[in-house]
Amino acid sequence: MPLPDEPATLLGNLTPAQFMRRYWQKKPLLIRQAIPDIQAPLTRDELFELADSEDAESRLITHFRKSWAMEHGPFAPDELPSVKKRDWTLLVQGVNLHDDRARALLDRFRFIPDARVDDLMISYATDGGGVGAHFDSYDVFLLQVHGKRRWRFGAQRDLSLKEGLPLKVLQHFEAEEEWVLEPGDMLYLPPHIAHDGVAEGECMTASIGFRAPSASELSGQFLYHLAERLDDAHSAGAKSAKGVQRYRDPAQPAVSHPALLPPLMIERVGAILANIEWDEKDVASFLGTYLSEPKPNVVFDPPHRPLNENRFIERAKQSGLKLDKKTVLLYDKHAYFMNGEPDLMSGKLRKWLPELADKRYLEGKRFVTLSGDSSMTVLLHEWYCAGWIQVDANA
Ligand code: SIN
Ligand code: CO
């Protein structure tokens, strides 16, 4: 993981700090040999195998006889076109959730906060294959991992899309730049840059994608989070019936228009809603919970024969701990968020949890110092039994 002020080959010898200042969310950057001697994290056959599984999200996009078509996976091997046929591509989303090499590749980009990371997608294309000229609403690093792809892109204003197609294809596309990327080359694109990548021969591209929730998604999810918090507070105070704030209307007059919404009700409910309060802690707790929530298709794999707590402690002392590749662990000053579950950051936790979250592993010798505290080892053992962390940081 590159440090903010160290020049990184990955960024064409810019430091991450320079990259973020000059390019991130601002303008495209082509980096030749960002990862020299790169090996595709998965072979073609391994990618096809993943596309055959229910756990992974995959799409097949074909452009046969100039007509765009899209299908959603899973795909049995005989449901994919022949690799000898031109003009098709298979996209597999969230490969980092299924493969440690893909996870390791994604981790090279952790100079960007985890809260912003979406996933690592891998595409396979035969000659001429691609997804058409389009734009994305998110930042992306397009890393060529096998074969060649011709990228054309530009910052055009007109982002209108062709109608009636199963995928987003720009109506008018004019490229300002054009480059052929070879294995190890990488193109960074900020949101809304029009782009089109066409395979030159068989190729594979890894996309490191980011998440940027819309204001309406954030508002909706935040209000939902707040409502749950209010519910919790209410059930805690429910012992005294008076503790629950409820609509009342002792001043309601008799009506001759029973279907009319009572103006008094609108006013009173407005007053109840205006009383909803939140502060920065609520925002942080919402963000931590929401952004660390496992994606809908994520299933953790608990160990088949879990070590008991004592043996777990002994093993962790020797070889350390690491977060499972599917785990999202975020934290702030007050709390931590483990796979969507918030909890307070106690003084004891503060000694090691931020380190585990930032590095995604904890060395054995670091574990030795906390192994005497049973409240901590019980917690870590629970996480281990849930499949959220693993013993053996080196494996
Ligand atoms: C790809 O085909 O691998 C990249 C898709 C994209 O341009 O977003
Ligand atoms: Co794109």
As a whole number, the mean pLDDT across the chain is: 94
- Select from 210, 234, 264 the last residue of a domain: 210
Q: Are residues 83 and 120 in the same domain?
A: yes
CATH of the domain at 77: 2.60.120.650
Q: Are residues 328 and 369 in the same domain?
A: yes
Q: Are residues 112 and 234 in the same domain?
A: no
Ligand 1 probe mutation, 123, 149, 169, most atoms within 8 A of CB:
123
Q: Are residues 379 and 315 in the same domain?
A: yes
359-380 residue pLDDT tens:
999 999 998 988 889 999 999 9
Ligand 2 midpoint to CA 255 (Å)? 59
**Ligand 1 atom closest to the CA of 122, numbered from 1:** 3
Q: Are residues 113 and 146 in the same domain?
A: yes
Q: Decide if 285 is inside a domain.
A: no
* Tokens encoding 19: 């990259």
Ligand 1 midpoint to CA 7 (Å)? 27
Residues 56, 49: Cα–Cα separation, whole Å: 10
Name the one residue in this structure whose structure tokens are 């082509």.
30
- Select from 163, 188, 210 the last residue of a domain: 210
**Ligand 1 atom closest to the CA of 89, numbered from 1:** 2
For residue 240, pLDDT beyond 70? no
Q: Decide if 274 is inside a domain.
A: no
* Tokens encoding 267: 């006013």
Cβ atoms within 10 Å of 281's Cβ, excluding its own: 12
Ligand 1 midpoint to CA 181 (Å)? 13
For residue 245, pLDDT beyond 80? no
Q: Are residues 205 and 56 in the same domain?
A: yes
Ligand 1 probe mutation, 205, 208, 210, most atoms within 8 A of CB:
205
Q: Are residues 220 and 205 in the same domain?
A: no
Q: Decide if 236 is inside a domain.
A: yes
* Tokens encoding 187: 């193109």
The whole domain housing 35 covers 9-210
**Protein residue with its CA nearest to atom 1 in ligand 1:** 123
Q: Are residues 201 and 75 in the same domain?
A: yes
From the CA of 121, the nearest ligand is 1
Ligand 2 midpoint to CA 196 (Å)? 7
205-237 residue pLDDT tens:
999 999 999 999 999 999 999 988 877 766 665
Q: Decide if 14 is inside a domain.
A: yes
Residues 356, 348: Cα–Cα separation, whole Å: 13
Q: Decide if 277 is inside a domain.
A: no
102-152 residue pLDDT tens:
999 999 999 999 999 999 999 999 999 999 999 999 999 999 999 999 999
2-34 residue pLDDT tens:
899 999 999 999 999 999 999 999 999 999 999
Q: Are residues 236 and 368 in the same domain?
A: no
Q: Are residues 188 and 238 in the same domain?
A: no
Query: Would you state the pLDDT for residue 172?
Result: 96
- Radius of gyration (Cα) for the chain, nearest Å? 26
Specify the number of domains making up the chain: 3
Ligand 1 neighbours by CB, cut-off 6 Å? 89, 123, 130-131, 136, 142, 195, 197, 205, 207
Q: Decide if 71 is inside a domain.
A: yes
Ligand 1 midpoint to CA 361 (Å)? 31
Cβ atoms within 10 Å of 346's Cβ, excluding its own: 12
Ligand 2 midpoint to CA 145 (Å)? 16
